[in-house]
Amino acid sequence: MREPVLVANGQGFWGDSILGPLRLVREGPLHYLALDYLAEVTMSIMQKLKSRNPDAGYATDFVAMLDRSLPEIAAKGIKVIANAGGVNPSACLEAVLELARKKGLKGLRVGIIEGDDILTRIPQLLAEGEELRNMDNDAPLSSIQEHITSANVYIGAPAVAECLAAGADIVIGGRITDPALVAGPLMHEFGWSGEDYDKMAAATVAGHIVECGAQCTGGNFTAWREVPDMARIGYPIIEASADGSFFITKHEGTGGLIDRRTIVHQLLYEMGDPKRYLGPDCTADFTSAQIEEAGKDRVKISGVKGGPPTDTYKVSISYQDGYKASGQLTVAGPDAVAKARLCADIVFERVAMDGVTFDDEQKLVEILGSGVCHAGVVPEMDPPEVVLRLGVKDRDRKKVDRFGMEIVPLVTSGPPGVTGFAGGRPKATDIIGYWPALLPKGQVTTSVRVEEV
């Protein structure tokens, strides 16, 4: 058993900078590179892509990153853990295997975790009495069944550890929880069991701190003026010990800042009950964590306590919930705010003249630059130019498209100073609704498969 085990997170979301993982691999020692690509809406986007192309439905950024780093990753013996498989882990597996062949790599073992995607099982589950009620409003899933676009269970760390135990150098999963990308390797390295609740809770805390990448190393930090060299911000690395304690640090010489403030700042992210943070592997008491600075850009966390998990998995379900469109204009010159308001009124009056109306809750009017981001907190301002952003939503796609036709005419048939419209008419796009639900763990079976180049 090696100690400490170094686990880094190089992607906080699908679209994060490719420099994060590339620099983690190149600029210092590392045992595991974790990559988090998925959010709730991402699964629906991937499912739509897969419906159009059976070989799509995964994070293509993952393969692009490996294209630039795989030989070095293999040479250094770094193992990669990613939820890049989205709704099509097998296609992602094939893409990585093909890339490895092109790079001339031999003996590389790539594994996938399957079982989280339950979209095709929804009719059966409902027929068996699993109502999958919405956790926010208690509505049964049957009420929107025909509109469902994706359904994925949040899988935990044991499946990751199982794939590593099977010899995988690269582990590709679907909707693996963010902390499990860290907890899985630690379970594998230290031989923790699923009932080592304090240690699993510590791993959950560690994974939660680094899951947003550089957001714990100075990114999005209130005291941003204190963060040095943000252009070269270092992504976080966990130095974990078998007793469950760990350090958060980054490669030497990189930009950014790690101190007690930046860690607590991220620890409170997406917080529910801090004494009972729920995950598929355990419950974690975040208030038990002892957080102390241990040198420059180095924070130690210890003493984390945990308990048994719930007997259910959380399920992330998305569904088609109508249509939306939005467009924007720049309004310049004296009285820019008043002119922008007039432009908004004109648009909605004109579509109403053509028989298309929207309720107030279906309309969005934002005058960016006037203080709208902090409306009610700061007084409204009247700068020399503003950006007017208009949007609507409705279940009728034709109504939404009709709205989009009336924004650009303001350039010549509205008040003076209207400019900045170059994107064409806004078109109706799907609104993706989010449906959180619970499913007994006995209804879910995961499997792993490992293939060698």
Q: Tens digit of pLDDT for each residue in 417-443?
A: 999 887 789 999 999 999 999 999 999
Pull the structure tokens for residue 128: 């068996």
Tell me the pLDDT band of 157, cut-offs 50, 70 and 90: very high
The Cα–Cα gap between 276 and 271 comes to: 10
State how far the alpha carbon of 375 is from the alpha carbons of 200, 303, 320, 367, 384, in Å.
42, 41, 30, 11, 19
Across the range 235-262, mean pLDDT stands at: 98
Q: Looking at residue 376, what is its pLDDT?
A: 87
Q: What percent of the chain has pLDDT over 90?
A: 91
Residue 1 has pLDDT above 90, yes or no: no
Residue 295 has pLDDT above 80, yes or no: yes
Nearest to 283 by CA among 187, 211, 179: 179
């992504």: which residue's tokens?
Answer: 235
The Cα–Cα gap between 275 and 434 comes to: 26
Q: Tens digit of pLDDT for each residue in 358-378?
A: 999 999 999 999 999 988 898
Domain with CATH 3.30.70 in the chain: 319-435
Tell me the pLDDT band of 174, cut-offs 50, 70 and 90: very high
Tell me the pLDDT band of 210, cut-offs 50, 70 and 90: very high
Tell me the pLDDT band of 340, cut-offs 50, 70 and 90: very high
Under CATH, what is the fold of the domain 319-435?
A: Alpha-Beta Plaits (3.30.70)
Residue 270 has pLDDT above 90, yes or no: no
The Cα–Cα gap between 20 and 236 comes to: 9
Q: Tens digit of pLDDT for each residue in 45-75?
A: 898 889 899 999 999 999 999 999 999 999 9
Tell me the pLDDT band of 318, cut-offs 50, 70 and 90: very high
Q: Looking at residue 199, what is its pLDDT?
A: 98
Across the range 331-358, mean pLDDT stands at: 97
Q: Looking at residue 223, what is its pLDDT?
A: 97
- Burial label for 288, CB within 10 Å (0-12, 13-18, 19+), is middle
Q: Tens digit of pLDDT for each residue in 68-126?
A: 999 999 999 999 999 999 999 999 999 999 999 999 999 999 999 999 999 999 999 99
The sign of the CA dihedral 415, 420, 424, 427 is: negative
Instruction: Please give the mean pLDDT across all residues of the chain.
Output: 96
Across the range 388-416, mean pLDDT stands at: 97
Tell me the pLDDT band of 148, cut-offs 50, 70 and 90: very high
Residue 170: count other Cβ atoms within 10 Å of its Cβ: 28
The Cα–Cα gap between 331 and 366 comes to: 12
Pull the structure tokens for residue 349: 């009056």
Q: Looking at residue 282, what is its pLDDT?
A: 97
Q: Looking at residue 167, what is its pLDDT?
A: 98
Pull the structure tokens for residue 157: 């760390």
